[in-house]
């Protein structure tokens, strides 16, 4: 199996994605410390709250559409037009919701408008990238992601020179917006005709009957996708919701400490694990669609073994260089902050395991159970955080996140095993 994977398209795409995420991870190692040390940890905490609202809404509106592209893409122009029309139908009303949420978090109309624009551009960028991903075009995916990360870092470095003249939160939101606005230009140039046709056809013919027909014609995608829409939203809340609970009981500084440590570990681990998932899922889908279910399952199992091996090395590395992580962020080297590191490493890795473990549910189109499992996990996480964070502080948030990831992993693994056995017997 290993020999076949090494010689396959998977290994080629994995290598490209890994290089891209390695560079993106290094950029994050520059940008997060710049924010925490130049703008303070508290400012990073406030920015993190707004940034994650945007990312949650992008996940809700576009995550399920992106998964439909990977699962069902037939490379036809008609499929693309339908997908882009679904995208605009969902994202236009969601932009109004994002306006009210951002205004509630930060009573600044300019920040709200920039956030809405970032939300739309971010969703459109993610959709364009996933079309490349589904067609195994790792090079184009790599280029767009690197452009976005580089622009965020570059604009941040530029604005640092004027940090005393401009509101700090506004600077960070502008950098976030520009990273999507500029990086999406190559995609718009290539796909402008299809995107333009989809948008203006929808605007010209927009009425109840047209939307109804759009739903009927794409019912399979909606049935597959609506649980994923909620899943992406709730899973994002699961991964970032703890900082909102911390914000209820602790200071902005504590939110910034937890957010910065979590984010730098998460980005580092994602840098290692995401190429496995990004390169692997399109191949699983292709094998599954061609009737090679056993091969798809074997690929999932093999990739899980690889990630478990990476977890062992990461724990060893973080244990040795724990002071390094806190030093570069400029946070206090306290016992509490050191105790955050290992449980957060486990939490992030366990979630990466779960992303592979629930793939059989996506392949068998049982996305409703994925939604059920993540709801159970987030309710458990929220309840534990509300009860224990006031007593034990931010360290418990790391353990709560880890426990929620374990719960989700166990639920989807059990269900995936049942589905595989059931379909194997029936076939």
Instruction: Encode pLDDT of 30-88 as tens digits.
Output: 777 777 777 777 777 778 777 877 887 887 788 788 888 877 877 788 888 888 888 88
Confidence at residue 346, expressed as pLDDT on a 0 to 100 scale = 93
Confidence at residue 162, expressed as pLDDT on a 0 to 100 scale = 67
CA distances from 9 to 304, 313, 367 (A): 19, 26, 27
Q: What are phi and psi of 251, to 5 degrees?
A: -85, 170
- Torsion (CA) 15, 16, 21, 22 in degrees, nearest 10: 60
Confidence at residue 11, expressed as pLDDT on a 0 to 100 scale = 66
Chain-centroid distance of CA 316 in Å reads 26
* Average pLDDT value for the chain: 81
- The answer, yes or no, to whether residue 165 has pLDDT greater than 70, is no
- Among 4-18, 35-49, 166-180, 383-397, which is the least confidently predicted range? 4-18
Confidence at residue 163, expressed as pLDDT on a 0 to 100 scale = 59
Q: Mind listing the pLDDT tens digit for each residue in 78-134?
A: 888 888 888 888 888 888 887 887 777 666 788 888 888 888 888 888 888 888 877
Pairwise CA distance, residues 263 & 267, whole Å: 6
Q: How many CB atoms lie within 10 A of CB 155?
A: 19
More confident residue, 308 or 100: 308
Among 201, 192, 229, 242, smallest CA distance to 347 is for: 242
- The average pLDDT across 310-330 equals 84
Confidence at residue 373, expressed as pLDDT on a 0 to 100 scale = 93
- The answer, yes or no, to whether residue 416 has pLDDT greater than 80, is yes
Confidence at residue 62, expressed as pLDDT on a 0 to 100 scale = 81
């Amino acid at each position: 199996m290993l020999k076949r994977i090494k010689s396959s398209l998977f290994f080629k795409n994995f290598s490209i994605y890994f290089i891209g995420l390695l560079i993106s991870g290094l950029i994050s190692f520059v940008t997060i410390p710049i924010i925490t040390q130049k703008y303070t940890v508290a400012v990073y905490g406030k920015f993190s709250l707004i940034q994650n609202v945007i990312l949650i809404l992008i996940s809700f509106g576009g995550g399920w559409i992106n998964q439909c592209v990977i699962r069902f893409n037939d490379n036809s122009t008609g499929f693309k037009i339908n997908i882009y029309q679904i995208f605009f139908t969902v994202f236009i009303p969601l932009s109004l919701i994002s306006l009210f949420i951002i205004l509630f978090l930060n009573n600044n109309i300019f920040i709200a408008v920039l956030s809405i624009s970032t939300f739309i551009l971010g969703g459109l960028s993610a959709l364009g990238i996933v079309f490349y991903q589904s067609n195994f075009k790792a090079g184009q995916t790599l280029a767009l992601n690197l452009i976005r990360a580089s622009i965020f870092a570059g604009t941040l470095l530029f604005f640092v020179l004027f940090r005393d003249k401009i509101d700090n939160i506004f600077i960070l939101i502008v950098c976030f917006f520009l990273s999507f606005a500029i990086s999406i230009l190559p995609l718009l140039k290539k796909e402008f005709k299809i995107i333009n046709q989809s948008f203006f056809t929808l605007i010209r013919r927009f009425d109840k009957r047209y939307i109804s027909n759009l739903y009927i014609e794409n019912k399979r995608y909606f049935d597959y996708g609506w649980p994923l829409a909620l899943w992406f939203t709730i899973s994002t809340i699961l991964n970032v919701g703890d900082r909102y609970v911390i914000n209820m009981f602790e200071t902005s500084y504590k939110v910034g400490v937890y957010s910065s440590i979590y984010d730098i570990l998460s980005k580092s681990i994602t840098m290692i694990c995401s190429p496995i998932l990004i390169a692997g899922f399109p191949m699983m889908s292709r094998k599954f669609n061609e009737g090679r279910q056993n091969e798809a399952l074997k690929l999932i199992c093999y990739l899980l073994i690889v990630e478990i091996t990476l977890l062992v090395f990461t724990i060893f590395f973080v244990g040795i260089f724990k002071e390094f992580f806190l030093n570069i962020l400029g946070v206090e080297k306290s016992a509490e902050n050191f105790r955050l590191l290992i449980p957060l490493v486990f939490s992030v890795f366990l979630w990466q395991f779960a992303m592979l473990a629930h793939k059989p549910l996506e392949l068998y189109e049982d996305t409703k159970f994925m939604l059920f499992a993540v709801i159970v996990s987030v309710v458990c996480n929220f309840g534990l955080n509300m009860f224990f964070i006031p007593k034990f502080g931010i360290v418990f948030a790391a353990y709560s996140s880890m426990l929620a990831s374990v719960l989700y992993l166990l639920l989807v693994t059990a269900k995936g095993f049942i589905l595989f056995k059931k379909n194997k017997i029936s076939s």
